[in-house]
Amino acid sequence: MKSEYKGSNLEQFYGSAASNATILYTNDFESGSGGFTQVSDAPHGWQRTVLGPATLDGHSKPKVVHFGKEVNGIPTDDSLKTGTFFTPKFDFSKVLPHDVVSISFNYFNKSEVGFDFVYFSVSLNNGKTWQELASSNKGILKEQSTVWETVLLQFPDLSGNADSVQFAFQFNSDELVVHQGFFVDDFEIATLPG
Ligand SMILES: [Ca+2]
Ligand SMILES: [Ca+2]
């Protein structure tokens, strides 16, 4: 948890050791989607916005990416909607065996507690199969945020992974009660010497 965005998520976890990190990918969503793609059955899908929690400190301002209602100030019907937001595909085959790959992002979640959930998953085989890394369904993401928070996940074993690696955020809503939804910003991938 932090109140101010310093420019890199790594610094709050690794301090001065973050200077040893190699940033493989970073996206603050200020100038575009940065190669992210989406599949959504909601009319608006995942969109960049400057509204709602985007106005709070704790991420790179002003823009964030959002799935939920009240996108750009226009209330929308988001019952029974699923939206998946995919990162670009990454090649980790040349990561050294002792290096750690870290994935981090800032998020703010306002989803219906116990019914609407967000999941963050990874595919190590070019999108064929996926495994959950974090979620708001008994996972490490909060269902009702009060501040922007940073999640950092580590992979110690991606060296030589032959297939493309891809990450995805997925939001699922049920048929009743829709809150603001899920907001994400500052997606970063880095390697650190192990
Ligand atoms: Ca931003
Ligand atoms: Ca709901």
Cα of 70 vs centre of ligand 2, distance in Å, is 14
Environment class of residue 172 by beta-carbon count within 10 Å: exposed (0-12), middle (13-18) or buried (19+)?
middle
Cα of 33 vs centre of ligand 2, distance in Å, is 27
pLDDT in tens, 168-192: 999 999 888 878 899 999 999 999 9
pTM (predicted TM-score):
0.92
Cα of 180 vs centre of ligand 2, distance in Å, is 10
Cα of 98 vs centre of ligand 1, distance in Å, is 31
DSSP strand E in 98-163: where? Answer: 100-110, 117-123, 131-135, 149-155
Cα of 48 vs centre of ligand 1, distance in Å, is 9
pLDDT in tens, 72-124: 666 666 788 899 999 999 999 989 888 999 999 999 999 999 999 999 999 99
Cα of 175 vs centre of ligand 1, distance in Å, is 30
Q: What is the number of alpha carbons within 13 Å of residue 51 lying toward its C-beta? A: 14
Task: Show the domains of the chain with their CATH numbers.
Answer: 9-192 (2.60.120.200)
Residue of 87, 8, 1, 76 lying closest to 45 (CA atoms):
76
The CA-based dihedral angle spanning residues 188, 99, 135, 132, taken in that order and rounded to the nearest 10 degrees: 120
Cα of 78 vs centre of ligand 2, distance in Å, is 8
Q: What is the DSSP string of 150-182?
A: EEEEEES--TT--S-BEEEEEEE--SS---SEE
